[in-house]
Amino acid sequence: MNTRLVHLLLRTESDVFVARQRAREVAAAVGLERQDQVRLATALSEIGRTLFTDRGGPAATAAEVWFGVSAGKIQVEVVAIGPSQADQLPSLGRLVDDLTIDDGPTTTVVRMSRRIPAGGELSEARLDRIRGELAASAPRSPLDEMAEQNEQLLTALEETRAHRDELAQLNAELEETNRGVMALYNQLSGELEETNRGVVALYAELDERSAQLRAASEAKTRFLANVSHELRAPVTAVIGLARLLDDPESDPLTEDQARQVQLIRGSAADLLRLVNDLLDLAKAESGTIQPDWSDVDLRGVFSQLRGTVRAMTTGDVELVVVDPAPPAEIRTDEVLLAQVLRNLLHNGLKFTAAGEVRMAATRAGADWLIQVTDTGIGIPAELHDRIFEEFYQVPGRAPTGATGTGLGLPYARRLVTLLGGELTVASEPGAGSTFTVRLPVAGGDGTS
Ligand code: ADP
């Protein structure tokens, strides 16, 4: 033991009370908390009682107790003279931090220690002062210590009771909280179930509506296809008959009759165009058009269109078709692509009174961008979506006086989608329009 503070001698069982009191005093002086003081005093008192109790054999004749401080702990050493009592010592594990027993033929040495709380550094000067205080305080009588011990017992009991009450209250609160949580959980899971049922019902309704919509759209497509098909023969016949009437070989017509026959021919031609457009659209919508994929040179498509569309131009509008730089390969359906571009070029010429209609193609990563730009009347921004709806035409006549069906753009968009691309418009009234066809170079058939 490094630093000894005080020691005492025990000769009879009644001296054990004094030892207990001394243990408490020393523990308090070095800074142990109250509960630890009682623990250490109780441990020493238990050792003392064991040593001096005669259990059918001879007990210790005397014992010396040393209190000291070392390694941040209060150390207690008991040297008992007499036959070994080691096997009688009670278990003190919970009262002290360390406990060792050296058992000899005439002496039994018990050492125990308890940690001093952090911050209780004991300097030499402090230890000297403690030594002085302990030397000055005379041990009290066993009765005093007994009274003190009783008081401590009562305090401990009181504390235990308070703890128990606190625990009971905590338990009650916990139970209350649990009940609340359970109620909330039940309510929430009820609401969740309700919501889930609603969502499921909503989905079922949605499925039903989509099925109805699909059926309606299919019925519309079927109707358009049938009606246009049925109309084509009689309209063609009307055109043929009107041409016959107009024929120089036929009986001559009066001027009025000739004008009326011309009117019939013009209207029948308009009707035939509408019927043909409707048939095309119905075919595209019904999914019966299967692109015929092949490797196409865009320059071939461009030069063919340059030739066929030029016939439509008037003196005031120039058609400019810019050949793409080679290699201008794309995997696509040549006929469908030419149909789309022809449609866009026709529109450009139809809605441009002066200036130019230009077609050019550029590569953008894995895509080709084919743009048809005109210097025509343009389209207000709020109608950019509507012009792709069937039969929609921007109010006001085309500046060239040409007529249309309002079916060209919806059909063109369907074809571009079929080819794996997209058709978009950028336009401003008075500033012209640009229609852009974006198509994957590798095609949309998933073969390359
Ligand atoms: P159509 O040309 O037979 O009327 P479309 O579906 O091709 O039908 O076009 C729908 C409408 O979009 C046209 O009636 C026209 O109002 C507008 N539009 C299309 N192309 C152009 C263009 N290049 N410039 C201005 N308006 C256009």
Q: Which atom of ligand 1 is nearest to the CA of 407?
A: 6
pLDDT at 423: 98
pLDDT digits (tens, 9 = 90+) for 275-304: 888 888 888 887 788 899 999 999 999 999
351 lines ligand 1 (CB under 6 A): yes
Q: How many residues does the chain have?
A: 448
The confidence band for 426, taking pLDDT boundaries of 50, 70 and 90, is very high
The confidence band for 142, taking pLDDT boundaries of 50, 70 and 90, is low
Whether pLDDT at 1 is above 70: no
pLDDT digits (tens, 9 = 90+) for 55-67: 676 778 888 999 9
CA 390 to ligand 1 centroid distance, Å:
11
Residue from 338, 329, 347, 339 nearest 393 by CA: 347
393 lines ligand 1 (CB under 6 A): yes
**Both tokens assigned to 433:** 């329009």
pLDDT at 71: 85
Greatest mean pLDDT among 43-52, 90-99, 202-211 = 202-211
pLDDT digits (tens, 9 = 90+) for 147-163: 777 788 888 888 888 99
CA 284 to ligand 1 centroid distance, Å:
19
Q: Report the DSSP pairing between strands 432-440 and 294-297.
A: unpaired
Q: Give percent of the chain with pLDDT exceeding 70.
A: 96
Residue 318 burial (C-beta neighbours within 10 Å; 0-12, 13-18, 19+): middle
Residue 406 burial (C-beta neighbours within 10 Å; 0-12, 13-18, 19+): middle
The amino acid at residue 332 is: T
Instruction: State mean pLDDT over 93-122.
Output: 85
Residues 71 and 122 sit within 8 Å (Cβ to Cβ): no
Whether pLDDT at 399 is above 80: no
Ordered DSSP codes for 316-375: TEEEEEPPPPSP-EEEE-HHHHHHHHHHHHHHHHHT-SSEEEEEEEEEETTEEEEEEEE-
Instruction: State mean pLDDT over 236-261.
Output: 88
Mutate to test the pocket of ligand 1, among 342, 343, 409, 434 (most ligand atoms within 8 A of CB): 409
Report d(CA 169, CA 69) in Å as an integer.
Answer: 42
pLDDT at 106: 85
Whether pLDDT at 36 is above 50: yes
If you classify domain 294-440 with CATH, what class do you get? alpha beta
Report d(CA 300, CA 104) in Å as an integer.
Answer: 116
pLDDT digits (tens, 9 = 90+) for 299-352: 999 999 999 999 888 888 999 999 998 889 999 999 999 999 999 999 999 999
The crossing angle, in degrees rounded to 10, of helices 334-350 and 408-418 is 150
- First vs last Cα of the chain: how many Å apart? 90
Q: Report the DSSP pairing between strands 294-297 and 355-364.
A: unpaired
DSSP 8-state assignment for residue 423: E
CA 382 to ligand 1 centroid distance, Å:
14
- Global pTM exceeds 0.75: no
Whole-angstrom CA distances from 100 to 51, 94, 104 are: 15, 14, 13
Tell me whether domains 3-139 and 142-288 share a fold: no
Q: Which helix (H) or strand (E) holds 66?
A: strand 62-70
Instruction: State mean pLDDT over 21-41.
Output: 90
Report d(CA 411, CA 226) in Å as an integer.
Answer: 18
Has domain 142-288 been given CATH number 3.40.50.1100? no
Report d(CA 171, CA 431) in Å as an integer.
Answer: 80
Whether pLDDT at 401 is above 70: yes
The confidence band for 448, taking pLDDT boundaries of 50, 70 and 90, is very low
Cα 96–Cα 99–Cα 101 angle in degrees, nearest 5: 150
Report d(CA 346, CA 340) in Å as an integer.
Answer: 10
- What's the CATH fold of domain 3-139? Heat Shock Protein 90 (3.30.565)
Domain ranges of the chain: 3-139, 142-288, 294-440
Ordered DSSP codes for 61-98: SEEEEEEEEETTEEEEEEEEESS--GGGPPP-TTT-SE
The confidence band for 146, taking pLDDT boundaries of 50, 70 and 90, is confident
Low-confidence winner among 229-233, 324-328, 429-433 (lowest mean pLDDT): 229-233
433 lines ligand 1 (CB under 6 A): yes
Whether pLDDT at 364 is above 80: yes
CA 393 to ligand 1 centroid distance, Å:
6
Report d(CA 434, CA 440) in Å as an integer.
Answer: 19
Instruction: State mean pLDDT over 187-211.
Output: 90
**Both tokens assigned to 193:** 């179930």
